[in-house]
Structure 1
Amino acid sequence: MPHSRKNEIAKFLADLLDRRYSIPGTSIRIGLDPIIGLIPYVGDAIVSVAGAFILVVAAQSQLPKIVLIRMSLNIAINGMIGAIPILGDLFSIWFKSNVRNLDLLERYAARDRRVSTVGDWAFVVSLLLGIAFVVVGTVVGIIWLLRYVWEILQGIQ
């Protein structure tokens, strides 16, 4: 698949996840990210995996590693904070990690490219695994915290 087709898919995905719909009566735009994020335990993980496609396109476009790190941090921040019920979804409406990553992709993809190496791909795969670890760890931590609070509340009654 040519880079331009992948870039179009990345644009579509960023729009769908972060700004496809407007909240009636406001200028606030939202996407599926905060809506899917409402699904307990797995919503934010699903959105993080979907948003990681933009990171893969960036790696295939041979963006500098520092830009890939910035994009990974955007995904991780959105995943970690997004895992906090309700507050995280409000954060996702404001933060728009996928649109931020698309902006980085478009800004840096137009520059001179170099051939990607096995080391570059190992770096990107490790970033993706790190993001997955952080998002899953956050979800597990929140589940543990909610169960702990539930047990305390059950003991009070």
Structure 2
Amino acid sequence: MEFTAKPEVLPPRLKRGGKLFDDENLDMLSHILDDFLKIPGTSIRFGLDGIVGVIPGIGDVIGGIASCIIIVAAWMRGVSYVTLARMVANVGIEVVVGSVPVVGDMFDIAWRANRRNYALLAGSLAQPRKHTIQSWVFLIVLCVVLAGLVLLPMLLVAWMAEHVLRTIGMDMHRLFAM
């Protein structure tokens, strides 16, 4: 008689019902990434995202990738697409502005995209309509600001070109008529 034992595969042990993306874990993640350390004698708090962001080149990218965990959790829990877009915008702002040396690192510590995104997740699940409207307003304002940042330099260059051409005695209309 031959006896063969089959190994027993146990599921991983996770807290509170076995959900990796539950509120407790996501709140802890956002806390660790954004504000678990405090500078003594001040009210300034920062987390791993602020520390890793100091590494030139890849620090902000690594922080942005870690921030995506909260966005994935929000998507899996059924948060509206506009709120997800707002969460992505929060992380994008943090990564892009955070990539500027020194000033970007200070902005990264102050912006706290992970805490913002966790608050959006929790609020969106509690009051979906309110957070959807707020997210639309945020995204519209963001688009207007980005359009202004694109158009302003173009208008400035056009104004300077016209000024230079007038100085040398040419008119913009005659220049394009040639």
The verdict on a shared fold, with TM-score over 0.5 as the criterion, is yes
Q: Percent identical across equivalent pairs? A: 38
State the distance in 1 between where 2:97 and 2:18 align.
Answer: 31
- What one-letter code is carried by the residue in structure 1 that aligns with 2:98? G
Higher helix share: 1
Q: Which consecutive unaligned segments of at least 5 residues does structure 1 have?
A: 113-157
Given candidates 53, 68, 79, the residue that maps to 2:84 is 68
Larger Rg: 2
State the distance in 2 between where 1:57 and 1:50 align.
Answer: 12
Matched, 1:32 2:27: no
State the distance in 2 between where 1:86 and 1:108 align.
Answer: 33
Residue 103 of structure 1 corresponds to 119
- How many residues were matched structurally? 112
Matched, 1:78 2:94: yes
43-52 vs 31-40, greater mean Cα deviation? 31-40
Matched, 1:15 2:31: yes
- What one-letter code is carried by the residue in structure 2 that aligns with 1:89? D
State the distance in 1 between where 2:65 and 2:18 align.
Answer: 20
Q: Deviation digits for residues 37-61 of structure 1, max 9, x if unmatched?
A: 0111110000000000000000011
Q: Which has the higher contact order (CA 8 A, sep 6+)?
A: 1
Q: CA RMSD in A?
A: 1.8
- What one-letter code is carried by the residue in structure 1 that aligns with 2:33? L
Cα offset, 1:68, TM superposition: 0.3
- Normalised to the residue count of structure 2, the TM-score between the two structures is 0.59
Residues 58 and 109 of structure 1 are in contact (CA less than 8 Å); yes or no, is this contact kept in structure 2? no
Cα offset, 1:110, TM superposition: 3.0
Going from structure 1 to structure 2, the CA distance change for 1:11 and 1:43 (only over 3 Å counts) comes to same
- Normalised to the residue count of structure 1, the TM-score between the two structures is 0.67
Going from structure 1 to structure 2, the CA distance change for 1:49 and 1:33 (only over 3 Å counts) comes to same
